[in-house]
Amino acid sequence: MTTEPAFEPFDEEWARDTEAPREPGPEVLSEVRARYGYRCPACAAILGDVPEVGADGRYVRRPALCLEVGSPVDRRHTWRLSVVGNHTATRKSYQPAFHPNSIEHTYILCGNGHIFPYSAALGENEKHFGVHYWNTVAAMGPVASGKTYLLTRMLDQSLTHVGDFPGGRRDDRVTVRTYAGAPLEDYTLNQRRAQYDATLTTGQPMGATVAQSLAPYQILNSLVSPVMYDAVIELLRETVTETMVDETSWGTMPPQPIMLRTRVGDGAAGRHGWTCVVDLAGEFFEDRDERSAVGTVRERAVLRGYNALVWAIDPLLEAQVFDRFARSALEAQEPGSYDRLLRGSLRPGATSDDPDAENFTRTVRAQRRRVQRTIAQRITKLEGEFLTDDHSRVRLLVAVSKVDIIRLALEKTMDRAPARLDDIGKRGAFKAGIVHYLDHVARNVGEVYHPDPDCAELLRRLDVRLVADEYVLRERLSDLADSLLDHYSDAERFWHLVEEGSATDVRLGADPDDPYYDGPVLHVPSVGEHLRRALQPGPADQAGRAGADDPLLTRDLVMSAMGCGLVFALGYGEAMVGLMSMPWADVRVFLCSPLAATPQESPGRDRPTMDPFDDTVDFADTVDRSASLTQLLLRVLRGVL
């Protein structure tokens, strides 16, 4: 016999929970606060707090909610929803009927709907999982910049390195472990992995990062119940002042972040960290009119409180700069190849379904380039969408994607002469970027950057505070930049820096191919050695010296210097100088190839697909080691390591 609900429910699938108050659990405010703190790290809405109560006896702001998800019945989950800290305001599924003994996972929803796991049925000890460090990261870039491919593969990079020799002291490195995520917690990353896998298996390109498809309310409706959003809104109408419910904005922006839980160290001394990566859609920056833009000014301003920003730059959007370098180099041997590569990299089908495909491609590139330029203009403005003027330390990470096409061009010839990196952009622009970055780091040693001994020795020779003769300083910077350009203009060495991660010696002030050279060299370690050094316990763990446990390593310095050179060559020198002029900003640049191979457009059965331009290689799997993405991951996670 079925018991009828105490009142006519809004929907026959759910109703008010009329049971007696439950045993103390996630509705106990102190437990939620101990784990998460007061505010949501993604949007600053209420999380471990209770809103004030207004004159009408209702909350003046949307409260945090507790969602308990039970075992599925006929492939439909049972669930119960309540207000954190309030035993009486509840809703639960009615068909199928929720039962407390069937709970599999418990989640906390912030005042804007972002989903945080609280505990699992077999993991009650997770209730005592306190977060020692929050790490919030926003990733931005134009549509089809390769940003989402880059993030997906970056987050799957392993921080465990299998060295050539298994010996060494047990305490010579920090152990970093990641936690298995709950179903709703892993949804955003798993969706991206599935699309990445579709590219590997069928050649289908990853779809655009559409904010609504990754919105919390969509995730709840898709994975828990199609009436979850309705139940949430009905509960908010009951408990929140009418003018503050704002049902159209709940669970929409920012999108549900990608979450990564980590533990650094073992046992009781282990430090728990929680990294939230918000993958902002390119549409977020497409319109300056607040009425038509994705996200309001208030929602965008939340980004100013983030710990790190990842700015993805697509070099292929800079047609006047990049085409002169790549087209002439690639089409000298295979006419028409560059256009196929261009359409494949801009997302197949997005540029070729127009009768005048060439003009349509030009239009698409121009539109996306405008977004890229808009980000460059906004990112350096204080009290804008990204940065504040409170001198809080922030990590600014610039990721130049799709550099695999540079490798292809370096392998070819241009005007019967080998192509070089400084052929990109205006004459001298690439070298100027290298010099600017080296000078910037040398001037900020001890304040922003803390180089390890090998890197410090090099930077001492470039520090304006230690070199009295300005001419000598300029010559040293120029000579080092020339040596780096000469070395990495070789396609194989360039790829070792970007993807393969092999160790190399840069010959200083000499022909990199001279077999009789025995002069000074700059040793750039392998990515495995870099990873080992990055995870070594620093002096701060032993002597308490602030900042000493975040060393600037040689591979990071070289990667950032070469990356800054490319950013300058692409025409973003002013933006880079603006970022480097902020004394509280740790600026790093990365040369990235999200797929580790250059895609080209190919005809598909129903729509164009993408496959590697070089038919002897495959696109990389997400777990395949990438030197640049491993280095980028270390910087993204630096807030919790």
d(CA 384, CA 126): 38
d(CA 102, CA 174): 39
Across the range 540-558, mean pLDDT stands at 65
Choose the weakest-confidence range: 151-155, 180-184, 507-511. 507-511
Across the range 393-398, mean pLDDT stands at 88
Q: Give the type of residue at 412.
A: K
Q: How confident is the model at residue 545 (pLDDT cuts 50, 70, 90)?
A: very low
Beta strands in 341-479 (DSSP E): 394-400, 413-414, 417-418, 450-451
d(CA 47, CA 39): 5
DSSP state of 508: T
Q: What local confidence, expressed as pLDDT, does residue 528 receive?
A: 92
Q: What is the pLDDT of residues 192-243, one digit of tens each?
A: 999 999 999 999 888 765 555 678 999 999 899 998 999 999 999 999 988 8
Q: How confident is the model at residue 102 (pLDDT cuts 50, 70, 90)?
A: confident
pLDDT above 90 coverage of the chain, percent: 34
What are 305's two structure tokens? 């409180």
Q: What is the mean pLDDT of the chain?
A: 81
Q: How confident is the model at residue 11 (pLDDT cuts 50, 70, 90)?
A: very low
d(CA 406, CA 313): 14
d(CA 159, CA 335): 42
Q: Look at residues 62, 101, 56, 55 and name the one whose alpha carbon lies nearest to residue 84.
A: 62
Choose the weakest-confidence range: 86-90, 178-182, 291-295, 477-481. 291-295
Q: What local confidence, expressed as pLDDT, does residue 293 receive?
A: 42
Q: What local confidence, expressed as pLDDT, does residue 585 receive?
A: 84
Q: What local confidence, expressed as pLDDT, does residue 292 receive?
A: 38
Q: What local confidence, expressed as pLDDT, does residue 360 receive?
A: 65
Of residues 408 and 360, more confidence is placed in 408
- Which range is most confident: 79-83, 289-293, 361-365? 79-83
- State how far the alpha carbon of 434 is from the alpha carbons of 497, 508, 577, in Å: 15, 15, 12
Residue 78 has pLDDT above 70, yes or no: yes
Of residues 406 and 272, more confidence is placed in 406
Q: Look at residues 251, 176, 166 and name the one whose alpha carbon lies nearest to residue 217.
A: 251
Please give the span between the terminal C-alpha atoms of the chain, in angstroms, as a whole number. 56
Q: What local confidence, expressed as pLDDT, does residue 194 receive?
A: 92
Q: What local confidence, expressed as pLDDT, does residue 41 receive?
A: 86
Q: What is the pLDDT of residues 119-148, one digit of tens each?
A: 765 444 454 566 778 898 989 888 888 899
Q: Which residues contact 100 (CB under 8 A, 6 or more apart)?
A: 22, 68, 80
Q: What local confidence, expressed as pLDDT, does residue 323 receive?
A: 85
Q: What local confidence, expressed as pLDDT, does residue 542 receive?
A: 40
Provide, for the chain, the percentages of residues in helix, strand and coil under a 3-state DSSP scheme, each rounded to the nearest 5.
40, 20, 40
Residue 531 has pLDDT above 50, yes or no: yes
Residue 511 has pLDDT above 50, yes or no: yes
* CB count in 10 Å sphere of residue 265: 15
Q: What is the pLDDT of residues 331-387, one digit of tens each?
A: 766 777 788 888 888 876 555 555 555 666 788 888 888 989 988 888 887 666 666
Of residues 31 and 373, more confidence is placed in 373
Q: What local confidence, expressed as pLDDT, does residue 172 receive?
A: 55
Across the range 297-322, mean pLDDT stands at 82
